[in-house]
Amino acid sequence: MVINTNLQAQGTSTLLMHSSAMLSQSLQRLSSGSKITSPADDSAGLAVSMKLNAQLARINAATNNVGNAISFSQTQDGYISKVNDALSRMSELSVLAQDVTKTDSDRSLYQQEFSALGSYIGNVATKDFNGVSLFTGTSLSVTTDSEANTFGMAGVNLSNTTYASAASSDISTAAGALTALTNVKAGLTQLAHDRANIGSNIESLTYYNDQLSSLKNNLSAANSRITDVDVAQESTNYAKWNILVQSGTAMLSQANSLPQSVLKLLG
């Protein structure tokens, strides 16, 4: 039996230090909700998590881009629906102006409304969305994923010749009304084509938006499996290490008192 070197106390102290470290780690995990509280806990997992978090941030940005593009297209469609009403009324006025019982004086009254509707179409052609023109016909590239791939959103041009001819027609005479009807019908045909493009844009962008939402959920779940603590399991670990710390403390106290038994030999 020796006094200077207490091997039992040293061994117990080492075990107690380990239990204390594990208890501290368990407390950190439970308080933070994360099972990676330092790079040493899972260096590879932390690296993967960092990349997933960066991708999730890019996905959120792409989702905002797609959402804004959908709003842009919906705004276009709102204006186009009113242009359709205007052209429909203009076609009606073109037929009314061909009534043989109407005089040119009557037709001039129809022309006033016809011109007003044409001016409305011209005014709509100048509208914008947050400073971006709605109807210049320019195709817009919308970022649709975290890798900056894009979708080409077809543009609509309300200033093209077809619409301009319809808007500037004159129904103040029967012959003019006949020509105007031809121009307005061409405008309606072009408008149907343009509105179909807008509808296709909205449909495609909605699919991209749904895809981004699904990808975000899946990546979030994957990241959670790497970083989020299992509270039930960690609570069990906490109870285990807490008990070991308390028992280790008690045993270290006993180990430190063992050399006192040497006094019995001196008695």
Q: What is the pLDDT of residue 267?
A: 59
Q: Average the pLDDT over 171-197 and give the result.
A: 96
Provide, rounded to the nearest whole percent, the portion of the chain with pLDDT above 90: 67
Q: Average the pLDDT over 23-32 and give the result.
A: 85
CA dist 139 and 137 (Å) reads 6
Give the Å distances, CA to CA, from 216 to 58, 211, 222, 229: 10, 9, 10, 20
Q: What is the pLDDT of residue 55?
A: 96
Mean residue pLDDT across the chain: 91
Q: What is the pLDDT of residue 228?
A: 85
Quote the pTM value: 0.80
Q: Where are the alpha helices (DSSP H) in the chain?
A: 7-32, 43-96, 104-124, 161-167, 174-227, 231-257, 262-266
Q: How confident is the model at residue 263 (pLDDT cuts 50, 70, 90)?
A: low
Q: What is the largest CA-CA distance in the chain?
A: 142
Q: Which of these, 264, 239, 253, lies nearest to 13 by C-alpha position?
A: 253
Q: What is the pLDDT of residue 2?
A: 61
Residue 1, pLDDT > 60, answer: no
Q: Average the pLDDT over 83-109 and give the result.
A: 95
Q: What is the pLDDT of residue 188?
A: 97
